[in-house]
Every structure is written in C-alpha cells, then in structure tokens.
Amino acid sequence: MDAWYRDGRRSLIAHYSFPVTIVMPRLTEIKKGTECIFVRLHDGGRQRLQRLVDMGILPGEPLKVIDNQGHGPVMIYVKGARVALGHLIAAAIEVREIAYGKKEDRSDAGGKS
C-alpha cells in the first residue's frame, strides 16, 4: 500500500520499513506508590534472573514501589513481602505501569461549567 501526499508526491515512509522498538520504563524510573508489572530483565544474564526468581520476582508479577529516591536501593512490595533491590538490578528490570481508570479532574479545563 503506497502513501501519497495531496500534491501527488509519494511518501518516503511507504518505501522504507523502520524497526519499531518499544521502550519500557525501568524499575528505577517508577515513582513511589506506583503499581507495575515486571515485564523482563533487560541486562542481567542467568545468575541475575535466578536471584530474582529466588526472591519470588518473576516476569508477569505485579509489584508496588514503596520507596525510590532515584539512587540507592529500590524498595518494592511483591507477594506480600517487602524486598529491597540494589540500584543496578532494579535498573535492569523493565516494567509496565498498571493504569487504573482514574477520573480526570476537568473542572479547570476551559469553557463551560
């Protein structure tokens, strides 16, 4: 399927395929109090993954960030236990935030009341 502009020129995007990379946030980027799901271990290898498995932290597991100051260990809540992860291992964990359907406050969003 070719893409055309209104003036008759062809779109370059139609001729080139670009690799798409989905960038997931790391556990160290998640704010305190946020719930997320462990997606995958980005940098780590078998030993680091085994250590997480031994602590009960598996891909697909829901986590809640209890404390994250941007440096030092990240404290999480997983399977009813508080776990402290070192900054390096937390930086290797890719997560997906859990979005609950919160109502947005639109009282100040211009116009009619």
Q: Do the beta carbons of residue 24 and residue 39 sit within 8 Å?
A: yes
pLDDT at residue 36 in the model: 94
pLDDT value at 82 more than 50: yes
Confidence of residue 106 (pLDDT cuts 50, 70, 90): very low
Strands in 35-41's sheet, in edge-to-edge order, are 81-85, 74-78, 62-67, 35-41, 93-97
User: For residue 90, what are the contacts with CB-CB under 8 A and spacing of at least 6?
Assistant: 26, 27, 28, 73, 74
Give tens-digit pLDDT for 37-64: 999 888 777 888 888 889 889 889 999 9
pLDDT at residue 71 in the model: 86
With 0.75 as the threshold, say if the pTM is over it. no
pLDDT at residue 9 in the model: 58
pLDDT at residue 10 in the model: 56
pLDDT at residue 56 in the model: 86
pLDDT at residue 85 in the model: 93
In 3-state terms, what secondary structure has residue 68?
Answer: coil
**What is the overall mean pLDDT for the chain?**
79
